[in-house]
Amino acid sequence: MRTGSIGAVIIVIWLLLGVVAAAERGYFKNSGPASCAKAGTVVVTVVAGPLNWMGVNPKIKCDVPQPSK
């Protein structure tokens, strides 16, 4: 059996569990305008995978500079 394929399956399952956790938290609902912080929070939640159910609650805060007038 190839080790690489087992690792790939584990990574896919890990990320799928992260998507489930993000969906449970309502991150995919279209509530308000999209922002850097919202997108970042979704990404780190998905990457955290099953750790979300062990108390990890990743949040991203980012400040985008406003254009000058």
Q: Looking at per-residue confidence, does 55 or 10 come out higher?
A: 10
User: CA 8: distance to chain centroid?
Assistant: 18
Select the more confidently predicted residue: 66 or 14.
14
- CA proximity to 23, closest of 44, 46, 47, 39: 46
Domain ranges of the chain: 3-54
pLDDT in tens, 20-51: 999 998 888 877 777 788 888 889 989 998 88
* DSSP, res 32: S
CA distance linking residue 11 with residue 14, whole number of Å = 5
- As given in the structure block, the two tokens for residue 52 are 């979300």
pLDDT of residue 67: 78
**Rg for the chain, CA atoms, rounded:** 16
For the record, the structure tokens of 43 come out as 């990404």
How confident is the model over 9-20, as pLDDT tens digits? Answer: 999 999 999 999
